[in-house]
Amino acid sequence: SDVPLGQFEKHTKGIGSKLMVKMGFNGTGLGKNGQGDANPIQVEDQPRFAGLGYSSGKLEIGESSKAAEGRQASNSQGSTPLELQDSAIRRNNERCKKT
């Protein structure tokens, strides 16, 4: 976001900063030796009414989330886990027919 650091505190009377100072935070990086990130975590906007489990990953039209996961996690042979599962089921069915 393009809002300067701490700009939101004009609405909260600086209570967040006051509490952090009371707990010993002086504006440096977090961590025992101050080695951590000093910048705040950036907020990502979510669509209105989106729940906590909302994922911004794009689905193709008519594609289920399981199919999208399978498409994204393809193995070294280029087959998705769902394709591998389907082929394993077909092989098993063929074996059952032979016996």
- Nearest partner of 90 among 78, 74, 79, judged by Cα: 79
Q: CA-to-CA distance for 72 and 35, rounded, in angstroms?
A: 35
pTM: 0.28
pLDDT range class, residue 90, cuts 50, 70, 90: confident
pLDDT in tens, 44-80: 777 777 777 766 666 555 556 666 566 555 544 556 6
Amino acid at 32: K
Q: Are 75 and 84 in contact (CB under 8 A)?
A: yes
The amino acid present at 30, given as its one-letter code, is L
* Cβ-proximal residues to 81 (8 Å cutoff; 6+ apart), any chain: 69, 70, 73, 75
